[in-house]
A and B are shown apart, each in its own frame.
Chain A
Amino acid sequence: MIRVVLPAHLRKLAHVDGEVQVDVEGPVTQRSVLDALEARYPMLRGTIRDHTTHKRRAFVRFFACQQDLSHESPDAPLPEAIASGAEPFLVIGAIAGG
C-alpha cells in the first residue's frame, strides 16, 4: 500500500480527506504510483501531469523522504520507505504567488 499526500485543492477534487492509499503492482515508481492514483481518482487526470505526454505539470513537485524527486526519471524506483508505506509520497503545489 502506497501512501500519497495530495495538496488541498486536489483532495477537494477527489472528495477525500487526508492521505490516500493506492496499490501498485510491480516496481514502485513515480509513474506507477501516479497511474494507480489516477485509476482510483480519475478526476485527477490532467491535474498532476499532462494527459497525453504524462509530463509533470510545471508547478507541481514530488517530494518524499526529505528529498525533491521532481526531476527524477518517472521510471526510477522510489525509496524503499515509500514502497513499504513507511513514508508518504508528497504531491506539492509549488510556492508561487497567491
Chain B
Amino acid sequence: MSRVRVLVGTRKGAFILTSDGKRQNWEVSGPHFAGWEIYHMKGSPADPNRIYASQSSGWFGQILQRSDDAGKTWFQPGTPAGESNKTAEGFPKGESNKFVYDTSPETGKPLTTHQWYDGTPHPWEFKRVWHLEPSLDDPDNVYAGVEDAALFHSTDGGKNWHELSGLRGHGTGPAWQPGAGGMCLHTIIIDPSNPKKIYIAISAAGAFRTDDAGKTWKPINRGLHSLYIPNPTAEVGHCVHHVAMNPARPNVLFMQKHWDVMRSDDGGENWREVSGDLPTDFGFVIDVHAHEPDTIFVVPIKSDSEHFPLDGKLRVFRSKSGGNEWEPMTKGLPQRDCYVNVLRDAMSVDTLDPCGVYFGTSGGQVYGSADGGTSWTAIMRDLPAVVSVEAQAIP
C-alpha cells in the first residue's frame, strides 16, 4: 500500500507528516529550519525523496534547501560546508540563494519596472521564493516563483538559478502591481502532456502561459472581471490567488481569484465564473480531486477585508460538477468561533484511492480528509501559522 507524506511550511519552520494509506495515524518530524519562514516545500514527481524547500527571513533573506533523503537531512545546494566558494579556476561556485533579475541585453539596465502600491513605477527587487515546482521527469530540473514576480529555473538541482525573463519582458510588466502579500509569482503548473506549456499566476497581474518552455509568454485573463482595477476586464492587473489543474485533463483550469471562482476549458484562453451558489466567492486556495477532474475544492473566506470564514464556520466547499453547484463539507471541521485563514498554497491532494485532501490554517491546524473531502480530522492543531501544504504519495 502506498504511503503519503505531507510537507507543511509555516511561519516558523517546516514539518513533515507521514502516514500509511489509511491516513489515520501520522508521524511528525520537525520543526526543520526552526524560526524561519518556509513559504513552500515540494517533492520531485520523478524522485519523491528529493524535496526542495524555500527558507526565508526578513533579516537574512532567502535560503534554498534541498533534501535527497525524504527530509531526513538537508543542505544548501552548491555551497557545502567547509569548501571554497570558488572553483579551482577562481569562478564562483553555485549560489543556491542567488536570484538575480535579467537586465536588458541592449542597455544593461533593469528590464522594466512594475507599479508600486501608489501607482508609481518601482524597480524589481528580489524578496523571497514563494513556490518551488520540480519538473515532472528530472529531479534536478526545478522552477521557482519569486517576489517581486518572476520565474527562475535551475537545471542543476538548485545550485544555480537563471530568470526566464520573457515573462517580465513581454510587455505588460510595467502594469503589474503588488497585492497585500507582495507582488508574488505563487503558482506554477507544468502541463504533463506537454512540459513546454507552463502556467503561472501572479498577484496582482493575473495568469500567464508559455508554450515554448518559458521563452515567450502571454497573459491569459480573458473573462476575468476585477472591480479594483481601472478597467475591470483589463489584460493584466487581476489578483489571481491560485490556479489548479487535474493532470488527466490539462486544458481545464480552475482559479480562485481575489473574488470569484473561475474555470477555463481551453488552457486559459477564456474563463467563466463558476462561483454559483457559494456563500462567498472570496478565498485563496483551490484544488482538484486527483481522480475526478470535475470535483474541486475551495475554502470560502468572508471578504477581502475580513480574512476568516463566514459566520465563524470553517467549511470546505466541494463541487462535483466542475463548479456552480457546491456543497459544504463540515464533518470534523469547527463550526463555531473559527476565525482562521487558509492561504493560497495551503491546500493539496494526494493520489491515493480514495483521494486525500489536506489544508493548513493561519491558526496552525492541518486538516486531512481520507475520503475525498467528505470528512476531516485535525492532523496537527498547534503549529505556527501554516503557509503551504503539499501532499506526496510515496511507494
Contacts and interface: CB of A to CB of B under 8 A. Distances in A.
A46 B85 contact: no
Contacts of B97: 45-47, 51
Contacts of A52: 100
Contacts of A51: 95, 97-98, 100
B85 A42 contact: yes
Nearest to A59: B59
A1 interface: no
Nearest to B81: A15
B56 to A, nearest CB: 10
For chain B, which range describes its interface: under 10, 10 to 19, 20 to 34, or 35 or more residues?
A: 20 to 34
Nearest to A39: B85
Interface in A2-50: 7, 9-10, 13-15, 38-43, 45-48
Interface in B71-118: 76, 79-86, 93, 95, 97-98, 100
Nearest to A42: B85
A60 B60 CA distance: 8
| Interface of chain B, main secondary structure | loop
Question: Among B35, B76, B79, B86, which residue has the most Cβ atoms of chain A within 10 A?
Answer: B79
Contact of B60 (A39, A41, A57, A97): A57
Interface residues of A, number: 25
A34 to B, nearest CB: 12
Nearest to A10: B60
A57 B59 CA distance: 7
B58 interface: yes
Interface string A40-75: 111101111001100001011000000000000000
A92 to B, nearest CB: 9
B36 A9 contact: yes
A20 B35 CA distance: 22
Nearest to A15: B81
Nearest to A50: B61
B57 interface: yes
B81 A41 contact: yes
B59 A46 contact: no
Given A9-B35, A42-B93, A52-B100, A47 B83 contact: no
Interface in A59-98: 59-60, 93-94, 96-97
B54 to A, nearest CB: 14
Nearest to A92: B59
A46 B61 contact: yes
B10 interface: no
Contacts of B59: 7, 9, 57, 59-60, 93-94, 96
A21 B95 CA distance: 23
Given A42-B83, A43-B79, A48 B60 contact: yes
Given A9-B35, A39-B84, A42-B79, A47 B61 contact: yes
B81 A47 contact: no
Contact of B58 (A13, A46, A96): A96
Nearest to A52: B100
A48 B61 CA distance: 8
Given A9-B35, A51-B95, A52-B100, A43 B61 contact: no
7 contacts: A7-B59, A42-B79, A42-B84, A42-B85, A45-B79, A46-B97, A60-B59
Interface of B: 35-36, 57-63, 76, 79-86, 93, 95, 97-98, 100
Given A9-B35, A43-B76, 8 more contacts: A9-B57, A14-B81, A38-B85, A42-B79, A42-B80, A42-B84, A42-B85, A52-B100
6 cross-chain pairs, A with B, having the tightest CB-CB distances, nearest first = A42-B85, A47-B60, A42-B79, A43-B79, A93-B59, A59-B59
